Amino acid sequence: MTPSDLDALLTWRRDVRHFRTDPVPETTQEALRHAMDKAPSVGNARPWRVLKVDDPSLRAQVRAEFVRCNRAAQKSYDPATAEDYAQLKLAGIDRAPLQLAVFTETAPAAGRGLGRQTMPQTLEHSTAMAVHTLWLVARVHGLGVGMMSILEAAEIERLCTVPPSWRFFSYLCIGRPDFEDDTLLLHRAGWQENAQTKWGSR
């Protein structure tokens, strides 16, 4: 792969919130599953855990939790900002055909603790990289991903009845995007312009 091929992929990876409702084919779901197998992982602990959420009543409960947290978040902005915020329509949860709840196993047997004794949070970092890997693989299959984190972790853990050692990471809405656009959603909505990454030096 050339640098410009990858650059194009990274440019077109998008946080998508508006989905078409046609289902994600099983073969594509399989590709998404295998994507995470190739993610890096500190000490190779591979701590990500994934639940596919199909149950409509569970989806409705997650949605309600998002509405509750979203409302609480809006209170801390001024009214105009809160309105922007609402307009962002962050929840693809109403339409996305494929929805995954992602967790981190905080006490994985795999990897034997290598590399995480000084920084246990590397487990969550590994999950983040695995989700990013899935995101890129979704893109080459023509799928968008919306990552939801405006949720109370403990509540999602309770709703999904996960083992006590699992820590909620994020809720992913996946499907074909309703439109293609090369302007980021948050930028179109005037939320935040990109700043370039600079390196300091020491």
Residues 96-155 that bind a copy of itself (CB under 8 A): 100-101, 110-119, 121-122, 124-133, 135-137, 140-141, 147, 149-153
- CA dist., res. 161 & res. 14, Å (int): 30
Of 91, 70, 87, 83, the C-alpha closest to 171 is 91
Determine the residue type at 34. Answer: H
Q: Is 80 in the site for a copy of itself (CB under 8 A)?
A: no
Which one of residues 19, 46, 172, 177 is an interface residue with a copy of itself (CB under 8 A)? 46
Q: Is 183 in the site for a copy of itself (CB under 8 A)?
A: no
- CA dist., res. 13 & res. 138, Å (int): 9
Which one of residues 19, 96, 169, 172 is an interface residue with a copy of itself (CB under 8 A)? 169
Q: Is 82 in the site for a copy of itself (CB under 8 A)?
A: no
Nearest approach in angstroms of CB 44 to a copy of itself is 4
Nearest approach in angstroms of CB 65 to a copy of itself is 10
- CA dist., res. 70 & res. 174, Å (int): 20
Of 135, 148, 174, 140, the C-alpha closest to 21 is 174
- CA dist., res. 173 & res. 32, Å (int): 13
Nearest approach in angstroms of CB 93 to a copy of itself is 14
Q: Is 171 in the site for a copy of itself (CB under 8 A)?
A: no
